[in-house]
Structure 1
Amino acid sequence: MISYAKALDLLESAATELGVESISSLNALERICAQDIFSPIALPSFDNSAMDGFAVRYNDTLSASQESLLELRITEIIQAKASAFKFAVAEAGCCCEIMTGAPIPAGYDAVIPIELVQLIERDGQNYIQIKHAVKMHDNVRFSGEDVGLGALLFKRGQQIQANDVMLLASVGIVQLTVFKALSLAIATTGEEISDNYAQELQHGEIYNSNAPLLMNLAAARCFAPRYAGILRDHKTTLQEFIQTSSEQILITTGAVSKGKWDFIPDTLRELGAEIIFHAVAIRPGKPVLFARLKDGRFFFGLPGNPVSSMVGWRFFVIPLLRKMLAKERETSFKLRLEQTFKKKHSLRQFLKARLSIQDGLATAQISHAQESFKIHSLTTNDLWAIVSEDDCVLIAGDLINAVPMYASFK
């Protein structure tokens, strides 16, 4: 049995980087950038107005006051998409009516909102009256104020979110180089497992909950999972699963402990697989297995208890995937422990917990349902609180490391 830290090192050392492909940036949600992305334009790409109003010269407005209204003659109307170069250079005593997003003509250096002026007409000319001076560059958006030309937008390994797609579209990037979608095959083991959810269980049967969990966790991260069914408790079922699967990573749940029907470790050895580790000093999920098949693909044998399977995915499969996708190792954050916790072993423990706010401070509230067969508590908690091997007693108010229950590749 090895430590969790050693297991992480072995996972990352074994990882091989994925190939890349070019896709439309408009359909890049949840995909992982395979290279740094730089902006081909400044954003905004030209100086423009932040609101509907009037472009003025700052110096012209200095004499305006409540007692002495200033009049400026309107010479132009500037709409969005108009070219700033088609308009005359600003003249003293003049202004331009301007729309939100329209370019600022040369010589003007501020915009006064339309609601702060009085419109008048005299001798066929339109004027505005203002009663206070403006500040230099009031309501002007400058070129590059948001994003500079050549600025780094996204680093290699960053996962694209919906707001990122907005930014890519804003700077005109239509193609994106991303890592290819990772393919996974998922199977469960056990004579007692049933996929017939519409049928009543026979005595001794249980519904398959691990496969739906893993399939949805994988799909939510934009991987390409395939459900390969239930492997009955015989080595030929595992042999067939491996030989007929083309996916890059194979995952099974169950049959990795030391029981009579735990056939996976021996079968892998018979097939020439390299078992990189089997059994890690953690709770839950101690029997977790990680192997490299003869053809170089990876194999995870996760324990069959539902929470152990969840821990296996969250703390073993995810770190390997992060490394394959050029991501840094995940870091935890610290929270105040809401109640005292004691453990009687020297294993690293992953505790179901819930983020809570006490007296305005973020705290971790440890669930009382930590047994690895208790599924309902997964739905009522949102954190994993991590107790190190050396910590046997944590007092309420102590800091504890935590990570979100569900992994993100941001």
Structure 2
Amino acid sequence: MVSVSEAEKIILDFLFVPIVQSIPIEEAQGKIIAEEIKADRDLPPFNKATMDGIAVSFEQIQKGKQEFIIEGTQAAGQAQLRLTTNENCFEIMTGAPLPIGCDTVIPYENISIQNKLASVHNTSTTEFQNVHAKGSDATQGKILLKIGTRLSPADIAVLASVGKKEVTVFKYPRAAVISTGDELVDVAETPLPHQIRKSNSHALTTSLNQLGCSADQFHLRDNEHELTEKLKSILSDYELIILSGGVSKGKYDFVPQVLESLGVKKLFHGVSQRPGKPMWFGVSQKNFVFALPGNPVSTFMCFHRYVKLWLTKSMGEQPKIQHAILAKDFSFAPSLTYFLQAKIKNENGKLMAYPDAGGGSGDFVNLIDVDGFVELPRKKNEFKAGEVFQLHLFR
């Protein structure tokens, strides 16, 4: 059995090395970018009005001029106009380029217009007011997005703004999520008293989807021959394999021995933690296999503590390490790292963790009421309110 820190180190010593692919930006949400994105021109590319009103030369305002003849209207999307004399003005719309000869925008609220003559009210005007200056967001050639950035909707907007119809991203491993157990039936079925519906595979698949990785689902019965034949096929077709169930010491827990018989080298089996103690991890020349305990909370915790970290690092993204303050005293006697379910509240800018241990590793309903796991270190029994611990959020 290994410790949590040892398990993490072993897993991170065997990262997946992704290839790159070019995809349309419409499909890039949540993907990890594999190229630097630079501004192809100044942003904004021209001095831009930020309010509707009139565009004037501030020099004339300084001279005390308060009435301006309107030469025309500068609209957004229209080529830049030019004043015939800086004693006049243009009406201007939000987003329009500032006409040549103008450097200041006075909003409609501060003027009155009659017979093409704009009169400025007795209000304070400053030079360059209501103007978004050319290049003030980014100058041409500036790096806007770095390699390893997970693309958000805001990042997609940046890609579009610099003309990137397609973007190079890291390609996720082909992933298979496998549930095991004769007691499991499909979601649409009505289970018999001794059966339960499959839930772990759906939790794992959607958790992968949140990271930008798609996965195919499989279900295998507790039959050594069937496990061997079907896992052999799955191992040939997929790179990342996540199993749920069949890894403990029960009479029908065949998964570890079957994986090893198929050439997957065991790197550890058992972690000194609760929940998720029987977790198994191994690799082959092609495969990375996480075999997680079948109890729902164990499966969910192990994914968020280990698989998510492994996948994030494999794709070149730096994981965000968070901490929370324990809001109430908590006791845990066994010499194991304990992943405490907790409700997280932001109180005055601090993340406070309110313990809600639930009914054990089989109580998946309790996950509805909590936001993450607080990692309580082993070799300690009493955890006091106010102490800070690592937090693994899933909500």
State the TM bucket, normalised to the shorter chain. over 0.9
CA distance in 2, matches of 1:360, 1:176: 36
Residue 331 of structure 1 deviates from its aligned partner by: 1.1
- Distance in 2 (CA, whole Å) between partners of 1:238 and 1:302 is 16
Tell me: CA distance 1:76–1:342, structure 2 relative to 1, closer, same or farther (3 Å): same
Structure 1 unpaired stretches of 5+: none
Distance 1:83 1:357, change over 3 A: closer
Quote the offset at 1:155 in angstroms.
1.9
Corresponding residue number in structure 1 for 2:70 = 74
Q: Which residue identity is paired with 1:228?
A: F
Q: Aligned-pair distance for 1:263?
A: 1.2
What is residue 82 of structure 2 aligned with on the other side? 87
Q: Which amino acid aligns with 2:82?
A: F
- 1:352 maps to 341
Among residues 74, 96, 99, which one is paired with 1:102 in the alignment? 96
Supply the distance in 1 between the matched residues of 2:347 and 2:168 (Cα, whole angstroms): 45
Q: What's the Cα RMSD here?
A: 2.0
Q: 1: distance between equivalents of 2:76 and 2:187?
A: 60
Equivalent runs, 1:218-257 vs 2, <5 Å: 218-229=208-219, 231-245=220-234, 246-257=237-248
Other-structure match for 1:50: 50
In the aligned structure 2, how far is the partner of 1:322 from the partner of 1:283?
Answer: 23
Any conservation in 2 of the 1:185–1:227 contact (CA below 8 Å)? yes
2:261 alignment partner AA: E
Q: Which residue of 2 aligns with 1:10?
A: 10
CA distance in 1, matches of 2:190, 2:264: 38
Deviations 1:279-335 (A, max 9, x none): 111111011111113x421111110111111112111211221122012244122x2
> Do 1:35 and 1:178's aligned partners in 2 also have CA atoms closer than 8 Å?
yes
Runs of 4+ in 1 over 6 A off after TM superposition: none
After superposing the two structures, state which structure 1 stretch, 348-357 or 376-385, moved more. 348-357
Distance 1:196 1:176, change over 3 A: closer
Per the TM alignment, residue 196 of structure 1 is displaced from its structure 2 partner at its CA by 5.9
- Would the aligned equivalents of 1:71 and 1:130 in 2 still touch at CA under 8 Å? no
Q: CA shift at 1:63, angstroms?
A: 4.9
CA contact (8 A) 2:172 2:315 kept: no
Quick one: which amino acid aligns to residue 160 of structure 1? L
**Partners in 1 of 2:380 and 2:58 — Cα distance?**
65
Letter of the 1:70 counterpart: Q
CA contact (8 A) 2:82 2:101 kept: no
* Cα separation, 1, equivalents of 2:60 and 2:170: 56
Contact residue 23 and residue 177 of structure 1 kept, 8 A: yes
How far the C-alpha of 1:93 sits from its partner, in A, is: 2.2
CA deviation map 1:225-284 (0-9, x unaligned): 11112x222222222222222011112111111222221222222222211111111111
352-361 or 247-256, which moves further after superposition?
352-361
Pairs within 5 Å for 1:275-294? 275-293=266-284
Which residue number in structure 2 is paired with residue 391 of structure 1?
380
Structure 2 residue runs of 5 or longer lacking an equivalent are none
Closer, same or farther in 2 for the Cα pair 1:361/1:272, shift >3 Å? closer
Q: Counterpart of 2:180?
A: 189
Contact 1:60 1:92 in 2 (8 A): yes
Worse-superposed segment, 368-377 or 136-145: 368-377
Change (3 A) 1:182 1:50: same
CA drift of 1:163 comes to 2.1
Relative to structure 1, the CA distance from residue 267 to residue 151 in structure 2 (aligned partners, 3 Å threshold; closer, same or farther) is same
TM value normalised by structure 1: 0.90
1:147 to 2:138 alignment: yes
Question: Separation in 1 of the partners of 2:281 and 2:187?
Answer: 30
Q: TM-score, normalised by structure 2?
A: 0.93
Give the number of equivalent residue pairs: 393
1:112-261 to structure 2, matched below 5 A, reads 112-121=106-115, 126-195=117-186, 197-201=188-192, 203-229=193-219, 231-245=220-234, 246-261=237-252
Structure 1 CA distance, aligned partners of 2:175 and 2:133? 48
With over 3 angstroms needed to count, the CA separation of the structure-2 counterparts of 1:149 and 1:390, relative to structure 1, is: farther
Classify 1:253/1:360 alpha carbon distance in 2 versus 1 (closer, same or farther; 3 Å).
closer
Higher mean C-alpha displacement, 74-83 vs 303-312:
74-83
